[in-house]
Amino acid sequence: MPDRDAEFGEFLDSRAGVMRRTAFLLSGGDWHRAEDLVQTTLAKIYVAWPRLNREGGVDAYSRKVMVRTAIDESRRAFRRRENVVDELPEVGVDPAGVDDAVDVRRALAQLPAGQRAVVVLRYWEDLSVSETAQVLGKSEGTIKSQAAKGLATLRRLLAGGRVLVEGQL
């Protein structure tokens, strides 16, 4: 058991930052949901830790668990109701020079969960079409289609300048 905990701790230390950033994008730019997503993913990985192949299988498994959990969470009715807010939360980074990143995140948050997962895995995680298909359990054709639709929607949302969220910049 101590070896298991030590190995898991090393994995957590090396991948926690990447997992948080990916979860942030998968959760539509909500840091609170991203933290919940990472915690759920880590709990599932810890349970499966003895069975995981340490030769590269852990990263693929963690991505797969995270994406599936994000999609499952987006389907829950209480998540859809909680998306509407009157005020944007305070941002922990200096807003100067990040307007484009904010616009991309807002546009990404407007994609359906499946398209968002494909776009994040393909273009943020830099996975190939076949790797993305394997993580999501979909065909390569579906991945290509979802990526094309997601990118077309992002282009449309970003073409007009600032991306609006609930009528505000």
Report the CATH number that the domain containing residue 139 is assigned in CATH: 1.10.10.10
Looking at the structure, tell me whether residues 66 and 134 fall in a common domain: no
Looking at the structure, tell me whether residues 77 and 108 fall in a common domain: no
pLDDT at 72: 83
Residue-wise pLDDT tens digits, 43-68: 998 888 888 766 667 888 888 999 99
Q: In angstroms, what CA-CA distances link 36 with 61, 98, 104?
A: 18, 25, 22
Say if 93 falls within a structural domain: no
Looking at the structure, tell me whether residues 75 and 18 fall in a common domain: yes
Say what the pTM is.
0.51
Q: Say if CB 156 and CB 164 are below 8 A apart.
A: no
Name the pLDDT band for 82 (thresholds 50, 70, 90).
low
Residue range of the domain that includes 52 = 1-82
Number of domains composing the chain:
2
Looking at the structure, tell me whether residues 119 and 148 fall in a common domain: yes
